[in-house]
């Protein structure tokens, strides 16, 4: 893939004109866009939102899993459990 012609859809602050790519397995940018499952996704999504607010020249590159992602739920003893949601399989 060639991303040399890619540009972010907002004006870039002059201080941040250097292009930066953020590689992550997942990005939690919006609840209906289920391309994350937990903490890593929330952290990466926060970085993307901060870059947007600061008008930085940053793009996020991740992986879109064909089978979707899962949700995490807490058990009564506070351990984490996987909750597969069938609607995530509609790609």
6 assigned to some structural domain? no
69 assigned to some structural domain? yes
pLDDT per residue over 46-87, tens digit each?
999 999 999 999 999 988 777 667 777 889 999 988 877 665
Looking at the chain, the whole-number percentage of residues with pLDDT higher than 70 is 88
When divided into structural domains, the chain yields a total of: 1
25 assigned to some structural domain? yes
1 assigned to some structural domain? no
85 assigned to some structural domain? yes
**pTM score:** 0.68
Query: Comparing C-alpha atoms, which of 37, 34, 36 is closest to residue 88?
Result: 34
Looking at the chain, the whole-number percentage of residues with pLDDT higher than 90 is 43
Query: Comparing C-alpha atoms, which of 73, 66, 72, 64 is closest to residue 89?
Result: 66
56 assigned to some structural domain? yes
Q: Which domain holds residue 49?
A: 18-89
**pLDDT tops 90 at residue 2:** no
64 assigned to some structural domain? yes
Report pLDDT for 86: 61
């Amino acid at each position: 893939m060639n991303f040399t012609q890619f540009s972010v859809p907002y004006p870039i602050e002059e201080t941040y004109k250097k292009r930066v790519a953020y590689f992550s397995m997942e990005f939690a940018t919006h609840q209906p866009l289920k391309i994350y499952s937990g903490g890593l996704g929330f952290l990466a999504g926060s970085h993307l939102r901060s870059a947007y607010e600061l008008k930085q020249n940053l793009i996020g590159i991740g992986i879109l899993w064909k089978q979707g992602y899962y949700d995490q739920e807490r058990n009564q003893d506070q351990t984490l459990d996987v909750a597969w949601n069938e609607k995530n399989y509609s790609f």
